Structures are given as structure tokens and as C-alpha cells.
Amino acid sequence: MNIGPCPKNCGFCVFGERHGLAPKPVELSPEEVVKRARTAQKEGANAIYLMTTADYDIDRFLSTGREVRNAIDVKMPLVANIGDFNTEEANELVDAGFTAVYHVVRLREGVDTEVDPEERLRSIAAAKAAELDISYCVEPIGPEHSSEEIMESMFRGRDLGVAIQATMRRIPIAGTPLFGNGQISEIEQAKVTAVARLAMKDIYAMGVHEPNAPSLLSGANMIYAETGSNPRDIAEDTREGRGRSVAACKRMLQEAGFKTFDGPAPSLQGWLRE
């Protein structure tokens, strides 16, 4: 929903204020966000995620979220991907129509980021108390992360009782602090995905980002289309860069042997689930 310098200065993110890479602040209007959400639903998306930088105003986010909720299918999962929040704000997310949050304790959180991992866990606890589902991910995986770190992240997701688990490899962006550490291959990510899928017990879906065929053959069954800004892309609109369309994601799933699902996903329904 927005792009611009972020004070959390994550070492892997193009938006980090200190990195000097983020373009001037740009924010999508509520009308544009609603339009893109409707388009995604029409093209066959099964859930809508609204993402902002960590310092985005919560009241503005809630207001736009309400407009999106009123514009999409009543059963369509609506997921908030925002900075940390408290119990009151978690309940306000529910009141605005959100059914889930994407919230993660990232690999080396508090070391490679200026984010308190305990604060991340408090936000997740607040979301669960408000009956919001949790979309979780082992991310952003780089060559320097040990098997022990990766496994700890996998099992944290399982212990938190998340609705969705996923893996994401780090995309090196020149000028970010972690650029020199390089990137794991899609095959290596597929191995992590396979182990993550085995580590989970009851789970609605297993995601992989960015979308790739090897991980879809090793345990993942969900991928993500993107529009707007992207912390792994210097383009103002990732549709012109790294981001894939809904149609492209559907084709990739079909090429991997999946029958794509029509309508609102059964995952991430949160308090809507019957």
C-alpha cells in the first residue's frame, strides 16, 4: 500500500531508511487499493493481503481495510501484513474485517533488523486472542543461516499453532547490508520447504515465496501474486519487476500438477470460519 524509507532498517529490505535505496514516499489511495483487491479477486486470487511498511499509520490502514472488506466477497480472507500491534489494535483489525495477519519472527530478528523479537511474539499472541489466523514463514533464508536456526524458526511456527506455514529465500538487493551474503538456490529452498512441511502437523496450506517450481514439488501448495511495492524490488510497482500476476501464479501451480482452487480460501478465515 505504500513505499518509502522505513525506520526498522532490516538488512535485507530495500525500504531501510539508512540504506538510502527507498524512493520518495508514495502511498496508494484507498480507491486504488480497493480497485486492485477487486481485480485480484476477479482474476482468481483466494485471499487478499494488504501490506505496508512498519511505521504506516494504523488508523489509516484500518480505514482502507474496511473499504476493501466491503468491496470483496464476504468470505474472502483479508490479511494484514503490518508492523507490530497491541491487543486493542488486534481487535480493531477484526472490527475492520480482517481475518488474519501475516506476522513473523524473522531469522536473526533483532540482529539483522531493528525489531524486537519479543514484540513480534506479543503481536502474534494479541492476534490469536482476537481470533485472527496467523500466516507464518521461515524467512528470509540466506546462505549464512544454519540448519539449527532454520529448524528453530520452523518449530516456532508449529508451536504457535499457525494456519499457514511458508518459506522465503532472501533476494539480495545491491546496497542493502546483507547483499554480500548472497542467495540460496531454488533447490536449496525446496529442501527447506520439504522439511518445513514435514515439521508441521495440522496446517491448511504450505506456501513458498517467491514462487518457484522446485518448492511446489517438495511440499508447497500455495504461492503469492503481488502488486504495489515490494521490499525485494526497487520498482515502485513490482508488477513491472519481480512480482507475478494471479494468472502467472495459476499457470505455475497448474504446471506443477495442482488443480487451482476457485473462490475464497478455507485457510486464513479466522473468526469467519464456521
What radius of gyration, in Å, describes the C-alpha atoms of the chain? 17
CA proximity to 10, closest of 147, 85, 117, 95: 117
pLDDT beyond 80 at 236: no
Beta bridge mates, 26: 3
Q: Rounded to whole angstroms, how far apart are CA atoms 34 and 11?
A: 31
Place of cell 502467472: 248
Cβ-contact 224, 49 below 8 angstroms: yes
Q: What are phi and psi of 64, to 5 degrees?
A: -65, -40
The answer on pLDDT for 234 being more than 70 is no
Question: Which whole number is the average pLDDT over 200-204?
Answer: 84
- Report the pLDDT averaged over residues 12-26: 89
Q: Quick count: other Cβ atoms within 10 Å of Cβ 263?
A: 11
Q: Is the pLDDT of residue 56 over 90?
A: yes
pLDDT at 196: 96
- Give the pLDDT of residue 228: 79
pLDDT tens digits, residue range 108-127? 999 999 999 999 999 999 99
pTM for this prediction: 0.95
Sorted by sequence, the CB contacts under 8 Å of residue 1 that are 6+ apart come out as: 27, 28, 33, 50, 51, 52, 56, 61, 64, 228
pLDDT interval class at 202 (50, 70, 90): confident
Residue 233 pLDDT level (bands cut at 50, 70, 90): low
pLDDT band at 27 (very low <50, low <70, confident <90, very high): very high
pLDDT at residue 100, as a whole number: 98
Q: Mean pLDDT across the stretch 50-78? A: 97
Residue with cell 487499493: 33
- E-strand ranges in the chain read 2-3, 26-27, 48-51, 78-81, 100-102, 133-135, 138-141, 164-169, 205-209
pLDDT classification of 52: cutoffs 50, 70, 90: very high
Of residues 118 and 21, more confidence is placed in: 118
pLDDT of residue 148: 98
**What integer pLDDT is reported at residue 244 of this predicted model?**
87
Percent of the chain with pLDDT over 70: 95
Q: What is the tens place of the pLDDT at every residue in 241-265?
A: 677 899 999 999 999 999 999 999 9
Q: Evaluate if residue 134 carries a pLDDT over 90.
A: yes
For the chain, the straight-line distance linking the first and the last C-alpha, in angstroms and rounded, comes to 30
- 32 pLDDT band, cuts 50/70/90, is very high
CA distance 244 to 48: 15
> How many CA atoms, within 13 angstroms, populate the side-chain half-sphere of residue 194?
11
For 147, phi and psi rounded to 5 degrees? -60, -35
